[in-house]
Amino acid sequence: MTVLAFEIMTPTIKAVPQSWTMDRLARFLTDNEITGSPVTDEDGDIVGIVTLKDITEFRWNANRSGADTSLTSEEQEEARRLRMVIFEEMGKVPVEVRDIMTPSVLSVDEQTSVRDIADIMMREHLHRIFVTRDSKITGIITTYDMLKLISDTALTQRCTGND
């Protein structure tokens, strides 16, 4: 007997509004001990996903040197100085979730087998995927949920067909 998405999904989803600041998002993720969250628009519809990786990449890109070897050392220094001025000014305007989120949302139906879900997550390099019924999101499956398959003997037997 095949294990299906609805059997291992987490039915409660902690979504964040796209208008939240990046700092508020970081506090929310930390407080809830999660690494990512769906993003909702003003109507409550999910429009993307945002993760700690998005915060890290944004901050890393703001601080990296990006030296261009075709520039003279004086030009490189001027480019670095200009980048610092730009990022300093950007720091005065709060970065919102909508600025760093991934706007595409991958999902599977509640009746999708966990084997198919694992294939999708591996192929797309995902740590989380939404679960839907009639095009409405009803849950989320994370890598943690997939690990439950290994730790739960009954589920493992059903996945491998060793009933």
Domain encompassing residue 40: 5-57+95-160
Integer Cα distance of 115 and 146 in angstroms: 10
Output the pTM of the full model. Answer: 0.70
Average pLDDT over residues 47-59: 89
For the chain, state the CA radius of gyration.
21
CATH code, domain with 15:
3.10.580.10
On whether residue 87 sits in a domain, the answer given is no
| Residue type at 42 in one-letter notation | E
Could you report the per-residue pLDDT of 9-23, keeping only the tens digit for each? 999 888 999 999 998
On whether residue 148 sits in a domain, the answer given is yes
Average pLDDT over residues 81-91: 70
Average pLDDT, the chain: 85
- What is the per-residue pLDDT for 69? 61
Integer Cα distance of 35 and 32 in angstroms: 9
On whether residue 115 sits in a domain, the answer given is yes
User: Confidence band (pLDDT; 50, 70, 90) for 92?
Assistant: low
Element (H, E) at 153: helix 153-160
On whether residue 143 sits in a domain, the answer given is yes
Smallest CA-to-CA distance from 134 within 104, 106, 103, 110 is with: 110
On whether residue 75 sits in a domain, the answer given is no
On whether residue 36 sits in a domain, the answer given is yes
Average pLDDT over residues 49-55: 91
Two tokens, residue 126: 């995902």
On whether residue 80 sits in a domain, the answer given is no
On whether residue 73 sits in a domain, the answer given is no
Q: How many domains does the chain have?
A: 1
Share of the chain above pLDDT 90, in %: 47
Cβ-contact 75, 52 below 8 angstroms: no
